[in-house]
Amino acid sequence: MSDQRIEGAFDQVEGKVKKGLGELTGDTKLKVEGVAKEAGGRAKAAYGRVIDGLDGIADKAHPDIREPAKKGLDFARNKPLLTTGILAGAAILLGALGRKR
């Protein structure tokens, strides 16, 4: 289980607690912070599930590409925001290339 999944679970719980306290006390700011923290936790946990799934695929890969795949996954674990940005940029470029003019 990746660190992102664990951190995501903690963030979700923290968000739920803040949201509940905000609702209980009528503190809108606290409630909004809780909702945001919970959503961030869900996103972080989802990212961790993807990394864990890719790790399983890398374990089954051909020996020639197994080590580079593991290095790429280590990079993705250590720099999740940068990895997400790189993938989003690549998706935008590929989408633009696929459009008919």
How large is the angle between the packed helices 80-98 and 28-59, nearest 10 degrees? 80
- Where do the domains of the chain lie? 3-98
**Tally of CA atoms within 13 A in the half-sphere of 68 that contains its CB:** 4
Chain segment 2-45, per-residue pLDDT in tens: 788 899 999 999 999 999 999 999 999 999 999 999 999 999 99
Q: What is the pTM of this model?
A: 0.72
Nearest-5° angle of CA 70, CA 8, CA 12?
170
Chain segment 68-80, per-residue pLDDT in tens: 999 999 998 888 8
Report the distance separating Cα 101 and Cα 91, nearest Å: 18
